[in-house]
Amino acid sequence: MTMVDEEIKALAAVLLERVGELAKEMAARVRAGSHDYQYDAVPDEELEEACRKHLGNALGALSGQEPLDTTVAARIGCGRALQDVPLPTVMTAYRIGLKYLWETVVTEATENAHVECDVLVAVASAMCEIQDNITQAMVSGYHDTVAQRILASEHERSALVEALLEGRAMDADAVLSAAEVMGVPRNGPFVVVVAEVPQIGRQALPDVEDVLNRRGIRSFWRLRPDLQQGIVCLRTLRELGDLTEVLRRHAEQRVGVSPSYNELIRTGEALRFAKVAMRAGDAESAAVTVFDDSPVAVASAGAPDVMAHVASNVLGPIEALPAGECAVLLDTLDAWLGCGGSADEAAKRLYVHPNTVRARLRRISERTGRSFTDPRGVTELFLALCAVRQMPKPPSAVLPGAMGTLKTASS
């Protein structure tokens, strides 16, 4: 062992005997230097004890009396995270503490021990290594605690979101607590969004929460085997347009948006409406359907078993045709309805002559017995077409009774 090592140990041992006195001064320095960084969250006694532990740990290692214990720093980092002290504030405190320790070492070395410069250089090097280890341990403890708190908060939020979506009985105080935990106002406007998942375990709307957050729209989501469901907090109803824009950009399959509501306790009811809106979309598309914007479509989706029978009864004769011909006639009907009953506009959409559209419409009228000049007949065709589009399979395959109805109508 070199003479320099021995002098470092002797110097550190002398300072270690004064650790109580030095801790008080270090705490005062930290408090004064960190006041503007809200370090007041840490009580005086606790700050002084932390300084005493760090000084004892560092000087004990320098003196060779005990190995450096980084778990002390990790526990302190954990404590500061629990106290919500910002990490930059903690780092500032550590820098102030290191500066004070170095000044104390220099004073002791030059005024009392009269050590040479090479000893001070060696002390500085050893102190930097010790400080690096201590700081890394503190930051690691801080980050681990923050991560655990985030995970716990996510679990708590997830449970509250599920309770709200499932419409569980919650009194006014429970709803208020849920709003506080979720960080949303107690009153809306809110909407519920549901989206069909591409497959089990896969999100229907990847990263939607982050995308909406960047637009200033808060949302909370849960993933079910068949659906991704979310509660969206709008600042004003004008943001509903921004929401639907995001949903249309990210949707892979059907998405439904509930009517807006103001009381968080009505989330379960809104979920039911959002599911109806989702079913109102074309089953073979990534349609985003807003409940209030599509009254006819949501009306047909509200009772799928009833509408399956209606669709089979009205369009059964069309469904009985060869698949290619059936598809052409249904697409023509869809285009004509979508163009407000204009054969000319429908022809442009379908890239055919208007007379072709009119001929196909006559064929539909003949097969179904519904006239395109009768409002009731048009309504029935519209509802039946909506029901057909909403079903992943033809209406004849949905209900056992519908098959018999279709056969009778097509014979």
Beta bridge partners of 196: 227
> Quick check: is 248 in a domain?
yes
- How much is the average pLDDT of 199-226? 84
Selected residue with higher pLDDT from 273 and 117? 273
Give 405's pLDDT tier (boundaries 50, 70, 90).
Answer: very low
* Cα dihedral 51, 56, 57, 60 in deg (nearest 10): 160
Selected residue with higher pLDDT from 4 and 146? 146
Which element (helix H / strand E) includes 186?
A: none
In this structure, of 91-105, 118-132, 332-346, 355-369, the range with the lowest mean pLDDT score is 118-132
Q: 68-77 burial string, b = 16+ CB within 10 Å, else e?
A: bbbebbbbbb
- How much is the average pLDDT of 249-269? 86
pLDDT at residue 395, rounded to an integer? 40
Contact (CB, 8 A) for 127 and 58:
yes
Long-range contacts of 100-109 (CB under 8 A, 24+ apart): 100/25, 100/26, 100/29, 101/22, 101/26, 101/55, 101/58, 101/127, 102/127, 104/15, 104/22, 105/11, 105/15, 108/11, 108/14, 108/15, 109/11
- Whether 205 has a pLDDT exceeding 80, the answer reads yes
Q: What is the pTM of this model?
A: 0.48
- How much is the average pLDDT of 215-229? 85
The CATH number that applies at residue 201 is: 3.30.70.120
Structure tokens at 204: 């229907």
In this structure, of 134-143, 202-211, 385-394, the range with the lowest mean pLDDT score is 385-394
pLDDT at residue 81, rounded to an integer? 83
The total of structural domains in the chain comes to 3
55 residue type, one letter: L
Please indicate, yes or no, whether residues 314 and 294 belong to a single structural domain of this protein.
no
d(CA 383, CA 366): 18
Contact (CB, 8 A) for 164 and 182:
no
The CATH number that applies at residue 144 is: 1.10.490.10
The CATH number that applies at residue 333 is: 1.10.10.2840
Please indicate, yes or no, whether residues 140 and 202 belong to a single structural domain of this protein.
no
Please indicate, yes or no, whether residues 209 and 274 belong to a single structural domain of this protein.
yes
- Looking at every residue in the chain, the average pLDDT score rounds to 78
- How much is the average pLDDT of 301-315? 72
- How much is the average pLDDT of 136-140? 87
Structure tokens at 263: 């009381």
Please indicate, yes or no, whether residues 143 and 24 belong to a single structural domain of this protein.
yes
Give 193's pLDDT tier (boundaries 50, 70, 90).
Answer: very high
In this structure, of 142-156, 254-268, 288-302, 307-321, the range with the lowest mean pLDDT score is 142-156
Please indicate, yes or no, whether residues 292 and 309 belong to a single structural domain of this protein.
no
Give me the domain span that covers residue 25. Answer: 3-148
In this structure, of 38-47, 232-241, 319-328, 363-372, the range with the lowest mean pLDDT score is 38-47
Contact (CB, 8 A) for 365 and 383:
no
